[in-house]
Chain A
């Protein structure tokens, strides 16, 4: 069974950074790319970027360049996303989602990030 287990919800101060994880199981981690998606409160979905764990290649939505950094650890089958210089605009739920021929076929449960002093 394919499963993407994300790390817990975060409460962070403005200006700080946060790093979240997405641990994959039930498939060969390096056979699939991983996407990250933002869902702001009561809002729709935004694609942040994609990482190909096999070759450590990333592709970002221009809107999130400089904000998000995607990495992957093949030894632990885990993808990571770090968000930097957080503001209230970054308060949202963040999902990882597995890529299958460009579509997002399996999703993690989401990480709620709250930016507040």
Chain B
């Protein structure tokens, strides 16, 4: 199975700050990587797919990037509504696997 090592596990940042979350894949997954946001008590929502493509309706302050087998999600100017838990998902091969999550809070 492909392991997705996500960091940090938790993050506290100030409003308008730049936030970066990373996922390291245990093997090559190409661009088969998505990012999800889960707000408290809600279902996960797709933010980024194909490592860098913004999902419909997602604010442009969210962006994804790739460097080899390391993937990053960047929030350019943190807003209050961005609090929640963020997960990466590798969709390269079954079993599909998620990162362990990053809990994002406002400082």
Give me the interface of A with B, judged by CB distance under 8 Å: 35, 44-47, 59, 61-63, 95, 97, 101-105, 107-110
A47:B100 contact, CB within 8 angstroms:
no
Most buried by A among B32, B45, B96, B101: B96
Could you list which residues of chain B lie within 8 angstroms of chain A, going by C-beta atoms?
32, 34, 36, 43-46, 49, 55, 87, 89, 91, 94-101
Q: Taking chain A's interface residues, is the majority helix, strand, or loop, or is none over half, making it mixed?
A: strand
A-B CB proximity, top 3 nearest = A102-B91, A107-B43, A61-B95
A103's partner among B46, B94, B97, B98 (CB-CB below 8 A) is B46
Closest-CB distance, B92 to chain A (whole angstroms): 8
Residue of A nearest to B43 (CB): A107
Are A47 and B98 closer than 8 Å at their CB atoms?
A: yes
Residues of chain B lying within 8 A (CB to CB) of residue A45: 44, 87, 89, 98, 101
B94: which A residues are within 8 A, CB to CB?
47, 59, 61
Given contacts A102-B32, A103-B91, 11 further A-B pairs with CB under 8 A are: A45-B87, A47-B95, A47-B97, A59-B94, A63-B95, A95-B43, A95-B44, A104-B44, A104-B89, A105-B55, A109-B43
Whether A107 contacts B44 in the complex (CB less than 8 A), given A102-B32, A102-B91, comes out as yes
A35 to B68, CA, bound (A): 28
Q: Which of B32, B87, B98 has the most CB of A within 10 A?
A: B98
